[in-house]
Amino acid sequence: MNAPFAHAAEKVALADLGDPGEVSRIERFVREMGGTPFHRPAWLHAVERGTGQRAMGLIALDNGVPTGWLPLTEVHSPLFPRALVSSGFAVGGGPLALRPATARRLCSAASELALRRSCASVELRGGTAPAGWTVRRDSHAGFSGPLAGDDEAQLLAIPRKQRAEVRKGLATDFTVEIGTSEGDRAAHYAVYAESVRNLGTPVFPRSLFDAVLDALESDVLTLRLGGAPVASVLSLYHAGAVMPYWGGGTFAARASRANERMYFELMRHARGRGCVTFDFGRSKTGSGAFAYKKNWGFEPRPLAYATWSAADSEARDVDPTSDAYSAKIALWKRLPLGLANRLGPPIARGLA
């Protein structure tokens, strides 16, 4: 345990994530508090192994008993200001605490830590932020809903127009593969890299996906058509929910309705694993992905993201769909895939 930050009776300190006992204690606290996979030290460590961005966290203790936890990734990039992010490469995070006062202490300690580490900002992707932080509730929405009891009920739960698209995908002669082997990983990365290039954004390093697959309950589902992978998704499993986290399709996927078939197959697979919830993740409000998820019958839930910025500093903007990057996005879409795959990972490491 590192030197504590100065607060009253309850002590907040930088957690020692190299201590297995400390990590085990935090993992247990996250489970008890109903945290997300992105609150777990396992996620922080996977991100560090996969991208080089440092795993950190602040723990609140009362007489040695955990009362709060704030996972952090220290993100550095030659293109953007340094930042503490809760959590890096995640759609969730923020403080987990038994009491509101504890959450405030954790956030205050995070701002102190940011100054010590020469970070321009602290970003919370969930939880409650103290007064004085900038909070946005209109930029992104989350989508989740219950899984049905069988395939037919799942189909009927999908609105009519989208259900017709799913049925077209079900009528196509895809091969469905699920696993975590080298072949599964390679197929997923090939499809995902092409998908994000087509959207105009740099691809994450494959090492990030490998680290997550090695550290968390997760797998890859891939659809092949004529032997070639056309759609693939890396999913997380947590607390009875399946989370299709990194997914995409090739140009061939659209005409064959591969994405529709992929998500329906994932619902089927997750139900067989005992999952009861389909967490479709977040999307930027008003985006094509936002509309796509609504078409499946999922209702948007506004997400609150909070930011603290140091004096005379601006929070970084790493949203790849931001209007500020429209020209760069248009250029990236035109890059040859091989070149995009070489240039992308060094840039994307800073897009946590």
When pLDDT is averaged across residues 60-64 and rounded to a whole number, the result is: 94
Identical fold for domains 4-137+304-316 and 142-301, yes or no, is yes
When pLDDT is averaged across residues 5-33 and rounded to a whole number, the result is: 90
Nearest 10 degrees: CA dihedral of 104, 109, 110, 113? 170
Closest CA to 68 of 37, 41, 101, 36: 101
pTM: 0.93
- Asked whether the predicted pLDDT for residue 6 surpasses 50, the reply is no
pLDDT tens for residues 153-201?
Answer: 999 999 999 999 999 999 999 999 999 999 999 999 999 999 999 999 9
Query: pLDDT tier at 16 (50, 70, 90 boundaries)?
Result: very high
- Residue 319 pLDDT: 74
* DSSP structural state of residue 176: E
Is the separation of the CB atoms in 16 and 2 below 8 Å?
yes
- Asked whether the predicted pLDDT for residue 1 surpasses 60, the reply is no
- Residue 2 pLDDT: 58
- CATH number at 4-137+304-316: 3.40.630.30
Delimit the domains of the chain by residue range: 4-137+304-316, 142-301
- Residue 143 pLDDT: 97
When pLDDT is averaged across residues 298-313 and rounded to a whole number, the result is: 92
Residue with the two structure tokens 């390093």:
205
pLDDT tens for residues 238-290?
Answer: 999 999 999 999 998 889 999 999 999 999 999 999 999 999 999 999 899 99
Residue 43's identity, in one-letter code, is W
**CATH T-level assignment (fold) for domain 142-301:** Aminopeptidase (3.40.630)
Average pLDDT, the chain: 94
**SS3 per residue for 14-55:** ECCCCCHHHHHHHHHHHHHCCCCHHHCHHHHHHHHHHHCCEE
Q: Which residues make beta-bridge pairs with 97?
A: 68
Lowest mean pLDDT among 94-103, 145-154, 250-259: 250-259
- Residue 233 pLDDT: 99
